[in-house]
Amino acid sequence: MSTGAGDRFRAGKRLWNPEDDAVLRVSYPNEPTSGVAGRLRRSICAIYARARMLGLKKSPAYLASPDACRLRRGDHVGARFRFPKGHVPANKGLRRPGWSAGRMKETQFKPGQRSGEAARHYMPIGSTRLVDGYLYRKIADVFNVPWPRNWTLEHHRIWTEATGPVPRGHVLVFRNGDRTDVCLTNLECIPRRQLMARNAVHNLPPSLAHAIQLLGALNRQVHRTRAHADSQQD
């Protein structure tokens, strides 16, 4: 790889050259990473990443030195911060919170209690909400779980209650295109292959189809350019 000024920077990145790698191979195993980063004018994260790519590791001599900041028996590094053998924890024998004297138990949060923003935004079971154009209904009120556990798509719920689960490889679509119109007569269960045919680009107006094809070609060229730049850096 050429080491000219124009080759050191590409796509907004400062590339590694053989001279940098040579310095890294010599310095990284036996010196603090911060010093190597300052010498090469790079971040510590960049040094770690390049060393990992080159298979470099710290030497045993460095790991045993004070620069490694490891806990060692010989010099008792960090000994004054450790609990001594036989140390009795300060809370040993104390009962769990809520059983102490005073108003602790009285003022603790109760299971299911909400206040502040949580109380203002709370929605009871049966409430509906619009997410990405689809209508959801709240069916449960379980704490500390992802929200889809408590909410379900309204049109799926209506279809399942009326006709049973959606077969594998099928999807529900809206006959009139309105995703908020969730009445059963507006729902249709079709194979995914049929859905793909409906959404094919050749079903669109010629001008719109041409624009979509040009956008796809542009995105592919951008990806190829980025991949080429990354391969040159490596």
Which of 40, 68, 96 is a domain's end point?
68
Q: Smallest Cα–Cα separation from 138: which of 179, 172, 129?
A: 129
SS3 188: strand
Percent of the chain with pLDDT over 70: 86
Task: Determine the pLDDT at residue 96.
Answer: 63
Question: Is there a single domain that holds both residue 51 and residue 13?
Answer: yes
* CA atoms of 25 and 201, how far apart (whole Å): 53
Per-residue pLDDT of 120-133, as tens digits, reads: 888 999 999 999 99
Per-residue pLDDT of 61-87, as tens digits, reads: 998 887 887 765 566 666 778 888 899
**Residue range(s) defining the domain that contains residue 61:** 5-68
Q: 157-170: buried (b, 16+ CB within 10 Å) or exposed (e) per residue?
A: ebbeeeeeeeeeeb
In a domain, 56, yes or no: yes
Lowest mean pLDDT among 103-107, 165-169, 171-175, 179-183: 103-107
In a domain, 170, yes or no: yes
Question: Is there a single domain that holds both residue 137 and residue 182?
Answer: yes
In a domain, 94, yes or no: no
Q: What is the mean pLDDT of residues 187-212?
A: 85
In a domain, 85, yes or no: no
Question: Is there a single domain that holds both residue 217 and residue 157?
Answer: no
- In single-letter form, the type of residue at position 184 comes to L
pLDDT of 48 strictly over 90: yes
Task: Determine the pLDDT at residue 213.
Answer: 82
58's tokens = 């710290």
In a domain, 88, yes or no: no
Question: Is there a single domain that holds both residue 189 and residue 208?
Answer: no
In a domain, 189, yes or no: yes
Task: Determine the pLDDT at residue 2.
Answer: 43
Distances in whole angstroms, Cα of residue 203 to Cα of each of 87, 197, 200: 76, 9, 6
In a domain, 217, yes or no: yes
Higher pLDDT: 72 or 4? It is 72
Question: Is there a single domain that holds both residue 194 and residue 133?
Answer: yes
Instruction: Name the domain count of the chain.
Output: 3
Which of 44, 68, 92 is a domain's end point?
68
Question: Is there a single domain that holds both residue 18 and residue 64?
Answer: yes
Which residues, 6 or more positions from 139, have their beta carbon under 8 angstroms from its beta carbon? 125, 150, 151, 152, 157
156's tokens = 């799926």
In a domain, 112, yes or no: no
Task: Determine the pLDDT at residue 6.
Answer: 47
Kindly report the average pLDDT of the chain as a whole number.
84
What pTM value is reported for the model?
0.46
